[in-house]
């Protein structure tokens, strides 16, 4: 029987970071994962370039039923701490929009850095190992795997959420929480494209591949970035961000001309070019096919001189506050994260230990903490993993 001090379930970003920190403290650490290789999501992140953190980091960039939960970990292990680690390995990186930081070359550089740190800390990794049962003992836990039984003092659940099943997503962490009476908040796909109802899909499918700047609002949150039309619905950064706040059946509001007083602009165009058609004027700002899809036929063909102020106001309002009720989302298959998870009220925000189950810890995406697009979810993995590693 194997008897490490610390057993970590999950060889993803949070699990590896926790293993490194615990190993540095002299703890005997073992990490098990059913996947063939560690860090699958790290390899996939940022289109293979790994958007590993963000310069602009604060708790407001996270969605959770406990909105204060993330503050402690994010302040104790910051983006600057992770950047210092990246710097020690001389991994080149660059900044993109909104403070997002990406590797210049390949996401593997981040994973190789973590694995090198694990080796230096004496961490043992056991891949292609499935957990079959977890039992509580007087001084720790007994975990039965398909590769034998493991006894440990501290058990860390870093199994992630349900997003991207091909990367090894599993509900194991939720089942362990429920086994020990720890609440799990309802889960849903986050940072995921919307699918449209048949009528809207038929209307917008011909626009597949077109991207435009837009403000997308769902659940009271507004994000202004590019919106991308797909053959099934809507995607792009603005849509992905809003999707984490959307609830089925709710409308999504889209401003197709963000930052523009469209009514005032149309009045100026009426004054300067009164004989031009409304659709022609708008097509100077947005793709012609999009304009045609958004306007009804009668309005599209009207010349500006025939539009009253009231009609211009109505057109502008419809384009600033255009609404659609999605059919749904593309689900966990393409979702970047899982919204919901292990109830943060049952876990210490400083140590990540379950309050009612000594020795049991939850870190990373398995918790009810979901970051925005832009490196926030990986930073949550680094921060929560680091904090748990100080005490397991």
Same domain, 179 and 34: yes
pLDDT for res 103: 97
Mean pLDDT of 239-256: 98
Same domain, 164 and 304: no
pLDDT tens-digit series, residues 325-384 = 999 999 999 999 999 999 999 999 999 999 999 999 999 999 999 999 999 999 999 999
- What CA–CA distance (Å, rounded) separates 295 from 281? 13
**Residue 334 counted as domain residue:** no
Same domain, 213 and 152: no
- What CA–CA distance (Å, rounded) separates 223 from 221? 7
Beta bridge partners of 6: 29, 154
Domain enclosing residue 237, as ranges: 193-329
**Residue 64 counted as domain residue:** yes
Closest of 358, 211, 224 to residue 286, by C-alpha: 211
Percent of the chain with pLDDT over 90: 95
- What CA–CA distance (Å, rounded) separates 110 from 93? 11
Same domain, 324 and 352: no
Q: Which of 233-243 are b and which e, b meaning 16 or more Cβ less than 10 Å from the residue's Cβ?
A: bbbbbbbbbbb
**Residue 1 counted as domain residue:** no
Tell which of 329, 357, 381 closes a domain: 329
User: What is the CA 342 to chain-centroid distance, rounded?
Assistant: 16
**Residue 46 counted as domain residue:** yes
Tell which of 329, 362, 380 closes a domain: 329
The CATH number of whichever domain residue 92 belongs to comes to 3.50.50.60
In Å, what is the CA distance from 207 to each residue of 6, 190, 212, 388? 52, 24, 11, 47
pLDDT tier at 296 (50, 70, 90 boundaries)? Answer: confident
pLDDT tier at 80 (50, 70, 90 boundaries)? Answer: very high
Tell which of 307, 329, 351 closes a domain: 329
- 295 or 299, greater pLDDT: 295
> How many domains in the chain?
2
CB–CB of 183/355 below 8 Å?
Answer: no
H helices of 277-375, in order, are 278-282, 288-294, 297-300, 309-320
pLDDT for res 1: 78
In the predicted structure, residue 297 carries a pLDDT above the cut 80: no
Percent of the chain with pLDDT over 70: 99
**Tokens of residue 180, six digits:** 């020990």
pLDDT for res 168: 82
pLDDT for res 312: 95
Beta strands in 153-247 (DSSP E): 154-157, 184-190, 194-195, 211-218, 221-229, 233-235
The DSSP secondary structure of 109-130, one letter per residue, reads HHHHHHHHHHHHTT-EEE-S--
Burial environment of residue 138 by CB neighbours within 10 A (0 to 12, 13 to 18, 19 or more)? exposed
Same domain, 280 and 202: yes
- What CA–CA distance (Å, rounded) separates 367 from 381? 10
pLDDT tens-digit series, residues 311-321 = 999 999 999 99
Same domain, 146 and 172: yes
In the predicted structure, residue 169 carries a pLDDT above the cut 90: no
CB–CB of 381/364 below 8 Å?
Answer: yes
pTM: 0.95
Q: What is the mean pLDDT of the chain?
A: 96
Same domain, 316 and 349: no
In the predicted structure, residue 298 carries a pLDDT above the cut 70: no
Place of tokens 């020795």: 359
Same domain, 154 and 169: yes
Same domain, 272 and 343: no
Same domain, 134 and 276: no
The CATH number of whichever domain residue 230 belongs to comes to 2.40.30.10
**Residue 290 counted as domain residue:** yes
Compute, in degrees rounded to 10, the torsion defined by CA atoms 8, 14, 17, 19. Answer: 0
Same domain, 65 and 152: yes
**Residue 149 counted as domain residue:** yes
**Residue 166 counted as domain residue:** yes
- 167 or 14, greater pLDDT: 14
Same domain, 220 and 290: yes
């Amino acid at each position: 029987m194997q008897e490490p001090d610390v057993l970590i379930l999950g060889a993803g970003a949070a699990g590896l970071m926790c293993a490194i920190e615990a190993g540095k403290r002299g703890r005997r650490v073992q990490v098990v994962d059913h996947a063939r290789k560690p860090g699958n999501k790290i390899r996939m992140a940022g289109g293979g370039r790994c958007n590993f953190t963000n310069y602009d980091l604060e708790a407001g960039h996270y969605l959770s039923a406990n909105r204060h939960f993330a503050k402690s970990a994010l302040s104790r292990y910051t983006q600057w701490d992770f950047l210092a680690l990246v710097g020690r390995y001389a991994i080149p990186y660059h900044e993109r929009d909104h403070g997002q930081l990406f590797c210049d070359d390949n996401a593997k550089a981040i994973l190789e850095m973590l694995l090198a740190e694990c080796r230096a800390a004496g961490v043992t990794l056991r891949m292609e190992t499935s957990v079959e049962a977890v039992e509580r003992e007087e001084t720790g836990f007994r975990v039965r795997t398909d590769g034998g039984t493991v006894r440990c003092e501290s058990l860390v659940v870093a199994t992630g959420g349900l997003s991207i099943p091909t990367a090894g997503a599993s509900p194991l962490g939720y089942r362990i929480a429920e086994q020990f009476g720890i609440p799990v908040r309802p889960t849903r796909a986050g940072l995921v494209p919307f699918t449209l109802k048949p009528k809207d899909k038929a209307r917008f499918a011909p626009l597949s591949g077109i991207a435009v700047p837009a403000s997308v609002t769902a659940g009271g949150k507004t994000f202004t970035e590019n919106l991308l039309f797909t053959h099934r619905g809507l995607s792009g950064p603005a849509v992905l961000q809003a999707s984490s706040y959307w609830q089925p059946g709710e409308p999504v509001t889209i401003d197709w001309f963000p930052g523009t007083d469209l009514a005032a602009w149309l009045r100026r165009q009426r004054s300067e070019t009164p004989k031009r058609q409304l659709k022609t004027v708008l097509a100077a700002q947005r793709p012609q096919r999009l304009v045609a899809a958004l306007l009804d036929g009668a309005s599209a063909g009207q010349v500006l001189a025939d539009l009253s102020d009231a009609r211009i106001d109505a057109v502008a309002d419809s384009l600033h506050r255009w609404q659609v009720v999605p059919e749904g989302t593309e689900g966990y298959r393409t979702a970047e994260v899982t919204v919901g998870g292990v109830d943060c009220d049952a876990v210490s925000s400083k140590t990540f230990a379950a309050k009612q189950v000594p020795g049991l810890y939850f870190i990373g995406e398995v918790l009810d903490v979901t970051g925005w697009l832009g490196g926030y979810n990986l930073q949550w993995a680094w921060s929560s993993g680091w904090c748990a590693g100080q005490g397991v």
